[in-house]
Chain A
């Protein structure tokens, strides 16, 4: 009963390094999302995908890239890590629609950039 799985759980990066946050879901959901959440703040949508091969920008896409080669996987890439990208990153998925189906979240990746 895995649902949405994110790896790694924690990571510390140096400024300028790159990394990929992994997200996979086993619910056969078409829709997937990446959010960031800064301390004491709400969720901000980074990117989303409505199916394999299709991605779209959310509210705060700058500094990030995504790809969706399979239904299951939706990795988020940071190319040049900056201190402003220190945050908790959540991946989520939903079934048949992104506008009227609830989203299911992974348990997050805590990223610090020093």
Chain B
């Protein structure tokens, strides 16, 4: 099993839709989780950290399910500007963070 797995997509959704991505991780001892956003031909940028109790930032909600070893990202009321690749990032022991390959989202007018 890969350390971090994501559905590559693409997810094509209309403006205003709600979309959710899941990401599974293999190391049950992982403690830190993040979602990054990467626009085409740009660098990854931190979108939000994921806390045990779940957290929300505007239209974005991140959740952690330790029992099933996955994290999720929910985007409500999708905007055209949300079109990007979303990277799941997990720590895996005493090594640098592990980046997933990303899920592509296209929001269509």
- Chain A positions within 8 Å of B, measured between CB atoms, are 31, 33, 41-43, 45, 48, 58, 88, 90, 98-108
Contact = CB atoms under 8 A, between A and B. Distances in A.
Contacts of B92: 99
Interface of B: 31-32, 34, 41-46, 49, 87, 89, 91-97, 99-102
Given A42-B102, A99-B32, A58 B96 contact: yes
A41 B87 CA distance: 11
Contacts of A105: 43-45
A99 B99 contact: no
Contact of A33 (B31, B43, B93, B96): B96
Given A90-B44, A107-B43, A99 B101 contact: no
Given A42-B102, A99-B32, A104 B97 contact: no
Nearest to A103: B97
Given A33-B96, A42-B100, A48-B96, A100 B32 contact: yes
